[in-house]
Structure 1
Amino acid sequence: MADKIKEHDLSTAARLSVAPMMDWTDRHCRAFHRTLSRRAQLWTEMVTAPAVIHGDRARLLGFDAAEHPVVLQLGGSDPAQLAQAAAIGADFGYDEINLNCGCPSDRVQSGCFGAVLMERPALVAECVAAMIAAQPRPVTVKCRIGVDDQVPEEVLPAFLETVAAAGVRHFVIHARKAWLQGLSPKENREIPPLNHPLVVEMKCAFPHLEICLNGGLTSLGQVPDLLARGLDGAMFGRAAYHDPSSVLLGADSALWGADDPVATPQQAAEAMRPYIARHLERGGRLHQVTRHMLGLFTGRPGARSWRRLLSEAGGRPGSGLADYDAALASVVAHAA
């Protein structure tokens, strides 16, 4: 449980984190990422507060103790619901509870949560205050630099000041605006220009806050520079998913001075085999795990064969460890 995690692991985990990504960062994805780094902070997919309260909690919130440090991200704008959901998340053992103030999809807009909350800092403050009062875990906020025609240089510091006054000390800032009208969620991750310097300025303006940067980051090598500029951490999204080795492999030694759990992508694939075997023994399907591993060998010999064989196996009933072993063998053969 979270109480057993070493304090230094939690206090520095956000130096490198993997962003919450819908349909991607489920428990199998997190188990895989944990084979590459023991120290990086992992996040759940966003879960709405009503789903936590009324849904299948074991399915939505269940995770393995090996995933620590792990953050539960909640979506919502009702303080009472968010407080209840945060308390449930704390009882499940999550290390932190995060409020989503950055997702720009139509679905979250219609529910008055996500990026639209950038226009309602007072409501966000009310929400996080209720979440903090309801349970013992730290409450954090992930936000954008602004939305639509807002001027980020004006609204972002005001947002941080208002929400911090309610008790939040840690913010993850996606360094892009979100356009709530006219752009799809995918376009909102790519089209609005990045403004990394503004996030650095926010750390200078609010040195007592922990501020991490999200958006446009592609490799582990970028993190030391961001830390040297005063930021408290870097969050990776699509790069960590599509090319996890470039982000997570070697992170523990580079950022924490700790031993890395594996040295190569091949070792990571071998380390995942027992997890996959247990999943299959419980009646799970191979594809539920391996779909998150397709990018493991990106840019390396055998990457195409690995993706093809695992993708083909995922579409066949009864696929199992033999298919996984064949995919790994093909990588080894290409690398020879």
Structure 2
Amino acid sequence: MNKYKKKEIIKNKISIAPMVDRTDRHFRNFVRMINKDVLLYTEMITAQAIINGDLDYILGFEKIENPIVLQIAATSPEEAYKAVKISEKYDYDEINLNVGCPSDRVSGNMMGACLMAYPEKVAKILEAMNSATSKPVSIKHRIGIDGTKILPDEISKKVFDTYEDMKNFVEIVKKVGIKKFIIHARIAVLAGLDTKQNREIPPLRYDEVYKIKKEIPDLYVEINGGIKTVEEIDKHLEHVDSVMIGRQIYENPMILTQFGKYYGKNIKITREEIIEKMIKYVEKIELNGIRPHLFLMHTHGLFFGQKGSKFWKRAINNPKADSFMLKNLLKELKNERKI
């Protein structure tokens, strides 16, 4: 028996990128009010947080959020194993290792993108994760890194930013049974650029992601980085297996209605219907003593590019906003024909 035999990887055409301070359970529930099919991710959660934290708060989610992937960051095989083992009692569909976060706080703790300089170590971490679960394990990484001034002295001046560097990384990692690679098509600059700049300044090199799929066709390759429209998604799907989209979903969540074609559906939900679902969700979390603002802050983009956008944002930004306010807001929007 192959010791790396796992459940089948999730082959979903569209996934929503893990975003720190964005893709929490409230935002994921908001996404599900619009689209039931896209693959969701948690925020990146460190293995240490799982090992030492409040598990229901950190790992808990509702059944409606499936299919969903738990993304972790880890610095050693031992802590990765423990974290994945602990997470087993939660019904995640897949476990993902983050080797793409460029944050200096993360890199300074030998997690995230800096690990691309150590493919053998990454392979051992993934091997440990595999041994801790029967769920499929995947990896999210960049096409390369510039670790100057961040990585230890022996390699601090080396830049791992060529296609050959990435292919070497992938070849080493796949030996431990990893078949699903989510690749952000930019390098990560570990010093001198902050996280936001690392999403914008390094140029996109989609061709290199296409090339890795062409040269190693048995891999399941998902592309990420700067993707905003259905037209762009369609173009990428000519070369890779699936597409991950991030900030655009947060800024314009109604784009989720355009993804029905990837699932043989026609999504016709209206903003009025979404707000009605929101009211029910807010009523539920109010009963559990949760501040509605923690949910509503994720809904700024509901009227993106539409009449009523400023009106909507102003209302939900009120820290005292609640289900009663939402009901009145819906009436106002309908009366003023903004919905």
Shift of 1:334: 4.1
- Read off the aligned partner of 1:113 and give its amino acid letter: M
Deviations 1:297-327 (A, max 9, x none): 1011111111111112xx23xx311211233
If the length of structure 2 is used for normalisation, what is the TM-score?
A: 0.90
2:253 corresponds, among 244, 250, 273, to 244
2-structure distance, mates of 1:145, 1:60: 29
2:71–2:95 CA contact under 8 A, matched in 1: yes
Shift of 1:45: 0.6
Aligned partner of residue 200 in structure 2, secondary structure = coil
Q: Which residue of 1 aligns with 2:263?
A: 256
- Read off the aligned partner of 1:320 and give its amino acid letter: D
Deviations 1:171-215 (A, max 9, x none): 110110100011111111111111111111111111101111110
1:140–1:170 CA contact under 8 A, matched in 2: yes
Q: Which residue of 2 aligns with 1:160?
A: 170
1:224–1:255 CA contact under 8 A, matched in 2: no
2-structure distance, mates of 1:299, 1:183: 30
Shift of 1:127: 0.4
1-structure distance, mates of 2:139, 2:271: 33
Shift of 1:136: 0.6
Shift of 1:83: 1.1
Q: Which residue of 1 aligns with 2:154?
A: none
Q: Which residue of 2 aligns with 1:292?
A: 298
Q: Which residue of 1 aligns with 2:338?
A: 335
Q: Which residue of 1 aligns with 2:155?
A: none
1:224 corresponds, among 234, 237, 241, to 234
- Read off the aligned partner of 1:30 and give its amino acid letter: R
Give aligned pairs, total: 320
Determine whether 1:198 maps to 2:173: no
Determine whether 1:325 maps to 2:296: no
Determine whether 1:105 maps to 2:90: no
Q: Which residue of 1 aligns with 2:57?
A: 59
Q: Which residue of 2 aligns with 1:278?
A: 284
2:161–2:187 CA contact under 8 A, matched in 1: no
Shift of 1:259: 5.1
Deviations 1:216-269 (A, max 9, x none): 01123322222122x1111111111111112x1131x31010353x52233222
Aligned partner of residue 317 in structure 2, secondary structure = helix
Q: Which residue of 2 aligns with 1:4?
A: none
Determine whether 1:169 maps to 2:179: yes
- Read off the aligned partner of 1:80 and give its amino acid letter: E
1-structure distance, mates of 2:291, 2:29: 15
1:70 corresponds, among 49, 68, 71, to 68
- Read off the aligned partner of 2:175 and give its amino acid letter: A
2-structure distance, mates of 1:328, 1:186: 34
Ranges in structure 1 where 5+ consecutive residues have no aligned partner:
1-6
- Read off the aligned partner of 1:82 and give its amino acid letter: A
Determine whether 1:305 maps to 2:311: yes
Q: Which residue of 1 aligns with 2:195?
A: 185
Aligned partner of residue 250 in structure 2, secondary structure = helix
2-structure distance, mates of 1:191, 1:182: 11
2-structure distance, mates of 1:199, 1:143: 11
Shift of 1:93: 1.0
Aligned partner of residue 11 in structure 2, secondary structure = helix
Deviations 1:122-168 (A, max 9, x none): 00000001100111111100000000132331111111111111111
1-structure distance, mates of 2:234, 2:103: 32
2-structure distance, mates of 1:53, 1:133: 17
Instruction: Identify the structure with the greater helix proportion.
Output: 1
1:95–1:137 CA contact under 8 A, matched in 2: yes
2-structure distance, mates of 1:220, 1:276: 31
CA RMSD of aligned residues (A): 1.6
- For the structure 1 residues 330 and 157, does the alpha-carbon distance in structure 2 shift closer, same or farther, using more than 3 Å as the test? farther
2-structure distance, mates of 1:25, 1:108: 18
1:142–1:171 CA contact under 8 A, matched in 2: yes
1:265 corresponds, among 257, 268, 271, to 271
1-structure distance, mates of 2:81, 2:227: 32
- For the structure 1 residues 322 and 167, does the alpha-carbon distance in structure 2 shift closer, same or farther, using more than 3 Å as the test? same
1-structure distance, mates of 2:333, 2:17: 28
Aligned partner of residue 250 in structure 1, secondary structure = helix
Determine whether 1:233 maps to 2:242: yes
Aligned partner of residue 82 in structure 1, secondary structure = helix
1-structure distance, mates of 2:27, 2:116: 29
If the length of structure 1 is used for normalisation, what is the TM-score?
A: 0.91
